[in-house]
Amino acid sequence: MAYASGDSVAFQELFRRYAPLLQRMLLRQLRVREEAHDLLQQTFLQLHRARLDFDARQRFRPWIFTIALNLKREHWRRARRRPEAPLDDAMLAELGVDARGAKRWEARRDLLHGLATLRPEQREVIELHWFEGLSFGEIGACLGLTANAVKVRAHRGYVGLRERLGDDLPPLEAESGNREPSPGIDPGSGP
Amino acid sequence: MSSRTPHRARSESSENAGLGRPDPGLEAVLTRVEQSIASERGVRAWLRSRSTSSRVVSMCALVAVLALSHLAWARRADWAVYPAGRLVLIAAVHALAVVYSIRVFLAPLTEPQRPGRASWVAGLLLLPVFAALLPELHTTPADQLETSASVRAAASCFFYGGLVVVSVCAVLWCADRGGRAWLVGALPAVVGAGLSAYLVLQLHCANDNRVHLLLGHASIGFAWLVLLLGLRALGLAFQRSK
């Protein structure tokens, strides 16, 4: 990696490539823009400090997501709380829940509210998989779990979502065009 | 199932979208990050940017130097008669515990967190207690001291061990990259330093009186742990009062 050998331009490239993804994830979970930006800043500072730990054979994306997730947990531990602020319309819009149709918009809003009712470990897996596009293997690398354990968590989360939202569970798969429900985690295939 | 998600394309396009439409808020964050990185100067910044394995090895080496220097110049008075096997066993077990504590303390944020690891590390403080309760194997003049004299001698060992704890914690702090919550972050350092102090005292102090060992040697790590928890409680009380 060029940055590990001191290339500051490479650092800016990394920031511009990954900061929007990390910001979106942190904002969705923290719900306070200033806190998300603080953690984003810390994530890249920690990346700088840990640059010599990076092994070029590793994938970079799970590596930096692991830093951000750990910092987020430490932030909650420090604050001794989980986010309580409700998702308002402005936040939903910022998280990519656009208004390309009121019905779909409401469905996505309900989905995010439904996600907030899940157990934190299930919500974390679903958010990383669906919203951030990490594979089960990458999520496992971030959380210190096997891919199968991640699939089990995701499956339980989707089943929980289905129970909470019923038929209102939005057709996420159809929206992005190329999304298909993963065979192992189809919410309809639960027990 | 493929390890790649079917919606990877969307995610990658988001990354590219991030390149095309810079968010002014993110640009401000980038500026702040670059300022933070520019201020990363000096020995501490150099040390904490070393690889994790280098940091762990160098910190363990410092503790080893501390212990070996006591062995060389301030070894216990009953060195010639103290059972070597027992000393080697106690030293080896405690050295391993010190290495583990240091590794946990210096664990990078690029590794997934393991819940409950801090509790395991805190449990290592019981090792010196078990060692102090081992059956006595020999009698030295120090063993024949009255308990009151052993308690008085324990105070000086406790103070000396406290100096070792402060020194080791200070060195460990230099190699720490930060980012962790205060209590969880500091706990393995205090445990590692407390066990280092016990190791050093075992190599230096010839008083094998059980009360002395418990009060002057084994209690050091616990005392600093209690201090840490007390400071945390004070901090929380201060936060609530604001």
CA distance B4 to A33: 30
Same domain, A129 and A180: yes
Q: Choose the final residue of a domain: A59, A79, A99.
A: A79
Same domain, A26 and A97: no
Same domain, A95 and A179: yes
Which residue do the tokens 């062995």 mark?
B71
Residue A84 included in any domain: no
Distance of CA A43 to the CA centre of its chain: 15
Same domain, A103 and A37: no
Which chain A residues are Cβ-neighbours of B3 within 8 angstroms? 135-138, 147
Residue A9: pLDDT over 90: no
Buried b (16+ CB within 10 A) or exposed e, B152-181: ebbeebbebbbebbebbbebbebbbbebbb
For residue A76, give the 3-state DSSP assignment.
helix
Task: Return the top range by mean pLDDT from A152-161, B65-74, B173-182.
Answer: B65-74
Give the closest-approach CA distance of B3 to chain A in angstroms. Answer: 6
* Structure tokens, A117: 């009712």
Across the interface, of A67, A133, A184, the residue whose CB is closest to B109 is: A67
* pLDDT computed for residue A177 by the predictor: 36
Report the CATH number that the domain containing residue A153 is assigned in CATH: 1.10.10.10
Same domain, A180 and A102: yes
Mean pLDDT value across residues A119-133: 87
Same domain, A74 and A160: no
Residue A187: pLDDT over 80: no
Report the CATH number that the domain containing residue A11 is assigned in CATH: 1.10.1740.10
Which chain B residues are Cβ-neighbours of A40 within 8 angstroms? 26, 29
% of chain B residues with pLDDT over 90: 63
DSSP A168: G
pLDDT range class, residue A181, cuts 50, 70, 90 = very low
Low-confidence winner among A70-74, A163-167, A181-185 (lowest mean pLDDT): A181-185
Substitution target in B27, B33, B44, B103 with the highest count of A β-carbons within 10 Å is B33
Residue A7: give the domain boundaries.
Answer: 3-79
Which chain A residues are Cβ-neighbours of B11 within 8 angstroms? 21, 132-134
Q: Please tell me the total count of domains within chain A.
A: 2
Element containing residue A103 per DSSP (H, E): helix A102-116
Residue A178 included in any domain: yes
* ipTM of predicted assembly, 2 dp: 0.82
Same domain, A72 and A101: no
Give the closest-approach CA distance of B6 to chain A in angstroms. Answer: 6
Q: Choose the final residue of a domain: A79, A107, A141.
A: A79
User: Do B180 and A132 lie within an 8 Å CB cutoff?
Assistant: no
Residue A7 included in any domain: yes
Residue A189 included in any domain: no
Give yes or no for A112 touching B (CB within 8 A): no
Which chain A residues are Cβ-neighbours of B5 within 8 angstroms? 129, 133-136, 182
Residue A11 included in any domain: yes
Give yes or no for A143 touching B (CB within 8 A): yes
Size of interface A-B (CB pairs under 8 A): 151
CB-based contact B158:B215 (threshold 8 Å): yes
pLDDT range class, residue B6, cuts 50, 70, 90 = very low
Which chain A residues are Cβ-neighbours of B6 within 8 angstroms? 178-180, 182
Same domain, A107 and A171: yes
Residue A191 included in any domain: no
Q: Choose the final residue of a domain: A22, A52, A79.
A: A79
* pLDDT computed for residue B50 by the predictor: 95
Same domain, A127 and A155: yes
Same domain, A132 and A163: yes
CB-based contact B200:B102 (threshold 8 Å): no
Residue that wins the pLDDT comparison between A168 and A129: A129
% of chain A residues with pLDDT over 90: 33
pLDDT averaged over every residue in chain A? 77
CA distance B175 to B153: 34
* Structure tokens, B139: 């009698």
* pLDDT computed for residue A55 by the predictor: 87
Give the tens place of pLDDT for each residue, A67-106.
Answer: 999 999 889 887 765 555 555 666 666 655 554 455 566 7
Give yes or no for A3 touching B (CB within 8 A): no
Give yes or no for A174 touching B (CB within 8 A): no
Closest-approach residue (CA) in chain A for B36: A45
Same domain, A35 and A69: yes
User: Do A17 and B29 lie within an 8 Å CB cutoff?
Assistant: no
Which residue do the tokens 């702090």 mark?
B173
Across the interface, of A41, A70, A147, the residue whose CB is closest to B29 is: A41
Residue A114 included in any domain: yes
Residue A190 included in any domain: no
Give the closest-approach CA distance of B101 to chain A in angstroms. Answer: 19
CB-based contact B38:A35 (threshold 8 Å): no
* Structure tokens, B32: 């702040």
Across the interface, of B12, B30, B179, the residue whose CB is closest to A74 is: B179
pLDDT range class, residue B25, cuts 50, 70, 90 = confident
Low-confidence winner among A47-56, A117-126, B6-15, B95-104 (lowest mean pLDDT): B6-15
* pLDDT computed for residue B144 by the predictor: 57
pLDDT range class, residue A189, cuts 50, 70, 90 = very low
Substitution target in A3, A9, A27, A41 with the highest count of B β-carbons within 10 Å is A41
CA distance B8 to A128: 12
The half-sphere exposure of A65 on its side-chain side, counting CA atoms within 13 A, is: 25
Low-confidence winner among A4-18, B80-94, B178-192, B212-226 (lowest mean pLDDT): A4-18
Residue B2: pLDDT over 80: no
Residue that wins the pLDDT comparison between B242 and A63: A63
* pLDDT computed for residue A85 by the predictor: 54
Asked whether the whole model's pTM tops 0.80, one would answer yes
Which chain B residues are Cβ-neighbours of A63 within 8 angstroms? 110
Low-confidence winner among A120-124, B50-54, B124-128 (lowest mean pLDDT): A120-124
Same domain, A70 and A95: no
User: Do A74 and B181 lie within an 8 Å CB cutoff?
Assistant: yes
* pLDDT computed for residue B203 by the predictor: 95
